[in-house]
Structure 1
Amino acid sequence: MNAGHELVEQVYAAKTDTEAADSLIRRYMGFIRAETAKYIHRAPVEGQDEELSIVLLAFYEAILGYEKNRGAFLSYASRGIRSRIIDYYRKEKKHAKVTSLHEPVQDDDNETWKINQLENPENEIEKSHHTSATRDEIQEYEKKLQEFGISFSDVADNCPRQERTLQACRRVLSAARENPGLLDELLRTKKLPMAALSEISKTDKKTMERHRKYLVAVLLAFTNGYEIIRGHLYHLTGNRENSDT
């Protein structure tokens, strides 16, 4: 199997498998950092450069949106990253950090703008409201996770690895969603109501504690109106219809 075909298979597996997605993201962190460096003109610093988070999320979006007929995955991801970065700079108006993108340059005796050199001629940003909405929702979701002391990497590291454990977590998630009062308690106290969920779902507390961050992250997606994210997470609860409730 050649490298390109192997990568495509990995991307397709990552679409519905959080462990596979986490593994793929970790494997391509060098690519993600290199893409970020294109726009900030230096090596990105985790926790300091917001662009790194934007690129990381755009890479994950690329995994979800990729199809074989769209060409090589890394080229597809690079185009998506470029669109998100440009949109981010426009929306946030962080002129102090991106002045170089708005400076005039000479190109064949015609004055143009550096930011225009990055844009897709088809102006995909304006045409893709859904993609922009997805990015905004992911950013908002990330902020909500931070309120609970959870990061995306925490969620990926905390995902259940075995089918039996995944089924146990699904029972907990279903129990929580069927008892809105427990969800309210989670939002109010920022703590997972372990005792009640353990009793209702017949799941061992130790199992819940080992995967607490994962459970909290999924439940937050179902309690704060994150419709797009819920659509991607429906398989975690084993019921697509309930993803809209």
Structure 2
Amino acid sequence: MHDYLLKSSQPFMVKIVSQVCKRYIDPLRDDEFSIGLSAFNEAIFLYSPAKGSSFLSFAKLIVSRKVIDYIRYNARRQHIVSFDQTYDEETMENPAEISAVIEQYQDEQLALNRREETLEYHQKLEEYNLSLLELTEIAPKHRNTRETSVQIARMLIKDEELREYVKTKKKLPIKKMESRVPVSKKTLERNRKYILAMFIIFDENYLYLKEYIKEG
């Protein structure tokens, strides 16, 4: 079904890509068509009818934007004036539909970025012998304790020596930390895994997870 949809939609893609490029695009020769094909494939997986736009409108926007990005990239490399940014609005007649499609695309991209970041975080946790499931069990129940743990993780990030120790040894330098944090050794030991988990988020600069920490 997926392959059939890609094949049957080739005339649609040729039309859209040709409109963007302002010339006829040959599917067998022009790189722009390959970019459009890849974008159309992405649209198939990202589309959600719940957002209120038709699939073709959504696909049209995704294909157009990807091809425009490709043209701009090549233009920058060749020091050519950037591509016309008003294409999307000019080629889609219904302003409400434009808004719905753009909103859906942005929402789907945000969700995709969050999933990718979470997956990367999961892989990084494994390097420290931690897991996402374990975090749900070891997270401090009291908000003050969570906030203190986050502050300790930030302190580790700012101290180059301690930061390098944690990244190399994959554990906390408890003895070195005792005189630098406002909690006891026992508290450090009890919350060490959670502190490590927070450290990873700051060290890798996981933007969405950092927002989650702020909300928590």
TM-score by length of 1: 0.44
Higher radius of gyration, 1 or 2: 2
